[in-house]
């Protein structure tokens, strides 16, 4: 059996950052990544499905210097984001949060971003083993090493510290955590690994020159039914954009109270349309006079034939049983935002914290450290996801109109914008109320003291 100090399951941004930080601190660090083939990457690597947008202050949350990010990772520098409702829209050109990155954000090449993180981890002395899955982990806290990883190729790896970075599908995480939960409780009751609640689908399409705006990402809210269901367009390089959406899995058209209120539903729909149908309707609605053929698929981008699909299990974060030498990081711990799917920044940061602490035999500090580093961001995202629950198309229009009204008065950011107008005041009150409801760590679904370690 091979033995390392810190073993990480999953080689996305969280796992790779953990290995990087652990190796940098002098530990023998290993990442095991099952390996997903992608048309846009030469070597086998992590899954890397993502709309791949980064806001300015997320760079600081990653704790990365903007200059350190390689030029070929950034596809398009962003000046703002357009939020489009059924009839109203608003453009934001500031996130309203201080940051060291000079622009609103950037759209990036997720596979190259992951490769960059992997190269850094390997340069620091970490090992990235790709092409075999972790099938399971056996833990015996009275033994050394405490954890034995069973790999699909038959190998076994022993490690005293285990970092779980298997993403929102949590193929290994749930089983590991269950051993530390008393009374037959299961981590699946909290983070539901087998019940992905959303599906994300996106297409890489060439946009006609006259329509392509490289500096603005666009989100449409209130056009398709479902909580945190929305399409987007993220501009990339060479007039190519990621046209995608996220929507709930298993939604029934009969459950939609007001189907005629949603622009991307049609009267003769018998069921909720597929992601591809929604995207075709979005392009037709947005660019009248053009055909789908005017937006050809770029087949050498994305995961396969210019498209990618991914199940998402959006949730709220959980603590880790650090007394057992286990840290859950990134999407696996529920940091990906259910509101806007943003999660690379918190994945990188939680991975770094866990790797550094594990290498220094200080993993007990992890649950406190991640809350100090990303707690505000998570609380903000959890609160936003909660207040928009049940919003109808008209609600989005009202909020976008109120935000625009505020901009005319000289403000830009959501927080500032929400401070004007009756609608805005109500939303701000809702936001504060919801956030307060989650304060004192209540947004954490499974707390450290609930584990029996
Ligand atoms: C469609 C979509 C759009 C998004 N857009 C954005 C965005 O614009 N900006 C943003 O910041 N975030 C975005 N996100 C969220 C972001 O992708 C996640 O927050 C981020 O990928 C989490 O990183 P991670 O390392 O925790 O997990 P992942 O990136 O999911 O990596 C987990 C890795 O673990 C591997 N793995 C799983 N099980 C095993 C196993 N048993 N053995 C070995 N390996 C295993 C997988 O192959 C995978 O590579 C988006 C997500 C989706 C799905």
- Indicate whether 211 belongs to any domain: yes
- Angle of helix 110-123 versus helix 13-24 axis, rounded to 10: 20
Token pair, residue 164, equals 């779980």
* CA 423–ligand 1 middle distance (angstroms): 36
Domain end among 350, 383, 416: 383
pLDDT of residue 419: 46
The confidence band for 129, taking pLDDT boundaries of 50, 70 and 90, is: very high
**Atom 52 of ligand 1: nearest residue by CA position:** 50
SS3 letters for 165-184? Answer: CCHHHCCCHHHHHHCCCCCC
- CB of 396 closer than 8 Å to CB of 76: no
pLDDT of residue 430: 64
d(CA 300, CA 39): 6
Read off φ and ψ for residue 215, nearest 5 degrees: -105, 0
Domain end among 284, 312, 340: 312
pLDDT of residue 418: 45
Scan for tokens 């500031």, then name that residue.
94
Pocket of ligand 1 (CB under 6 A): 9-15, 32-34, 36, 46-47, 49-53, 133-134, 165-167, 171-172, 200, 202, 244, 310, 312, 330-332, 336, 341-345, 347
Mean pLDDT along residues 67-79: 97
- Indicate whether 453 belongs to any domain: no
* CA 417–ligand 1 middle distance (angstroms): 32
pLDDT of residue 291: 95
Mutate to test the pocket of ligand 1, among 105, 176, 331 (most ligand atoms within 8 A of CB): 331
Mutate to test the pocket of ligand 1, among 343, 348, 374, 378 (most ligand atoms within 8 A of CB): 343
130 and 259 co-located in one domain:
no
**Atom 27 of ligand 1: nearest residue by CA position:** 167
* CA 280–ligand 1 middle distance (angstroms): 26
- Indicate whether 392 belongs to any domain: no
Mean pLDDT along residues 297-309: 94
- Angle of helix 344-359 versus helix 110-123 axis, rounded to 10: 10
pLDDT tens sequence across 23-71: 999 999 999 999 999 999 999 999 999 999 999 999 999 999 999 999 9
* CA 23–ligand 1 middle distance (angstroms): 22
The confidence band for 75, taking pLDDT boundaries of 50, 70 and 90, is: very high
**Atom 15 of ligand 1: nearest residue by CA position:** 343
- Indicate whether 293 belongs to any domain: yes
d(CA 197, CA 395): 23
In the chain, pLDDT over 90 holds for what percent of residues? 75
Domain end among 294, 312, 330: 312
352 and 301 co-located in one domain:
no
Mean pLDDT along residues 336-358: 93
Range of the domain at 227: 198-312
* CA 329–ligand 1 middle distance (angstroms): 11
**Atom 17 of ligand 1: nearest residue by CA position:** 50
Number of domains composing the chain: 2
pLDDT tens sequence across 169-221: 888 999 999 999 998 888 888 776 545 578 899 999 999 999 999 999 999 99
Q: Which atom of ligand 1 is nearest to the CA of 16?
A: 25
CATH of the domain at 23: 3.50.50.60
15 and 119 co-located in one domain:
yes
* CA 358–ligand 1 middle distance (angstroms): 22
pLDDT of residue 396: 92
22 and 149 co-located in one domain:
yes
Least confident of 83-97, 212-226, 406-420: 406-420
d(CA 253, CA 156): 48
* CA 309–ligand 1 middle distance (angstroms): 12
Mean pLDDT along residues 147-153: 98
* CA 305–ligand 1 middle distance (angstroms): 20
Q: Which atom of ligand 1 is nearest to the CA of 110?
A: 17
**Atom 4 of ligand 1: nearest residue by CA position:** 50
297 and 379 co-located in one domain:
no
282 and 226 co-located in one domain:
yes
* CA 166–ligand 1 middle distance (angstroms): 8
Strand locations in 79-180 (E): 80-84, 89-92, 105-108, 127-130, 134-139, 147-151, 156-164
- Indicate whether 419 belongs to any domain: no
Inform me whether the pLDDT recorded for 104 exceeds 70: yes
pLDDT tens sequence across 265-291: 999 999 999 999 999 999 999 999 999
pLDDT tens sequence across 218-243: 999 999 999 889 999 999 999 999 99
The candidate with the shortest Cα–Cα distance to 177, out of 148, 139, 132, 143, is 139
Inform me whether the pLDDT recorded for 413 exceeds 90: no
300 and 374 co-located in one domain:
no
226 and 148 co-located in one domain:
no
137 and 167 co-located in one domain:
yes
pLDDT of residue 330: 97
d(CA 398, CA 411): 17
- Indicate whether 441 belongs to any domain: no
Inform me whether the pLDDT recorded for 411 exceeds 60: no
Strand locations in 52-124 (E): 53-55, 74-78, 80-84, 89-92, 105-108
Tell me whether residue 213 is exposed, middle or buried, using C-beta atoms within 10 angstroms of its C-beta: 0 to 12, 13 to 18, 19 or more.
Answer: middle
pLDDT of residue 412: 46
Mean pLDDT along residues 287-298: 96
Q: Which atom of ligand 1 is nearest to the CA of 343?
A: 19
70 and 103 co-located in one domain:
yes
57 and 107 co-located in one domain:
yes
Question: For residue 197, what is the enclosing H or E element?
Answer: none
- Indicate whether 127 belongs to any domain: yes
**Atom 13 of ligand 1: nearest residue by CA position:** 342
49 and 150 co-located in one domain:
yes
- Indicate whether 13 belongs to any domain: yes
The conformational region for residue 81 under phi > 0 = left, psi -120 to 50 = alpha, else beta, is beta
Mean pLDDT along residues 382-402: 88
């Amino acid at each position: 059996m091979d033995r390392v100090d810190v073993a990480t399951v999953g080689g996305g941004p969280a796992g790779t950052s953990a290995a990087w930080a652990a190796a940098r601190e002098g530990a023998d660090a290993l990442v095991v990544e099952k390996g997903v083939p992608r048309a846009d990457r030469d070597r086998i690597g992590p899954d890397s499905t993502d709309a791949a947008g980064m806001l300015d202050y997320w760079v600081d949350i990653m704790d990365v210097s903007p200059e350190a990010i390689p030029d070929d990772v950034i596809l398009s520098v962003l000046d703002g984001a357009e939020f489009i409702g059924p009839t109203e829209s608003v453009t934001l050109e500031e996130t309203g949060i201080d940051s060291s990155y000079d622009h609103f954000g950037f759209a990036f090449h997720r596979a190259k971003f992951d490769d960059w993180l992997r190269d850094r981890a390997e340069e620091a002395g970490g090992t990235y083993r790709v092409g075999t899955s972790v099938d399971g982990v056996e833990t015996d806290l009275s033994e050394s090493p405490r954890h034995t990883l069973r790999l699909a190729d038959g190998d076994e790896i022993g490690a005293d510290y285990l970092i779980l970075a298997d993403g929102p599908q949590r193929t290994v995480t749930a089983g590991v955590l269950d051993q530390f939960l008393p009374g037959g409780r299961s981590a699946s009751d909290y983070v539901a690994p087998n019940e992905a609640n959303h599906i994300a689908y996106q297409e890489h399409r060439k946009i006609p020159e006259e329509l392509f705006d490289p500096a603005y990402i666009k989100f449409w809210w209130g056009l398709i039914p479902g909580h945190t269901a929305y399409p987007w367009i993220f501009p990339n390089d060479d007039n190519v954009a990621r046209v995608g959406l996220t929507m709930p899995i298993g939604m029934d058209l009969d459950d939609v109270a007001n189907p005629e209120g949603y622009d991307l539903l049609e009267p003769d729909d018998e069921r909720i349309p597929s992601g591809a149908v929604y995207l075709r309707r979005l392009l037709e609605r947005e660019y009248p006079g053009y055909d789908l053929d005017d937006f050809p698929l770029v087949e050498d981008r994305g995961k396969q034939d210019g498209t990618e699909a991914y199940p998402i299990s959006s949730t709220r974060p959980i603590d880790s049983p650090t007394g057992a030498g286990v840290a859950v990081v990134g999407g696996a711990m529920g940091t990906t935002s259910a509101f806007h799917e943003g999660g690379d920044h918190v994945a990188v940061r939680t991975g770094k914290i866990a790797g550094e602490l594990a290498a220094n035999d200080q993993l007990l500090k992890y649950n406190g450290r991640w809350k100090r580093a990303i707690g505000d961001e998570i609380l903000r995202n959890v609160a936003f996801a909660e207040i928009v629950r049940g919003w109808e198309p008209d609600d989005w229009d009202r909020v976008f109109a109120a935000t625009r009204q505020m901009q005319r008065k000289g403000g830009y950011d959501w927080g500032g914008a929400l401070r004007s107008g009756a609608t805005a005041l109500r939303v701000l009150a809702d936001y504060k109320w919801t956030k307060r409801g989650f304060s004192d760590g209540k947004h954490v679904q499974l707390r450290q003291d609930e584990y029996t370690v």
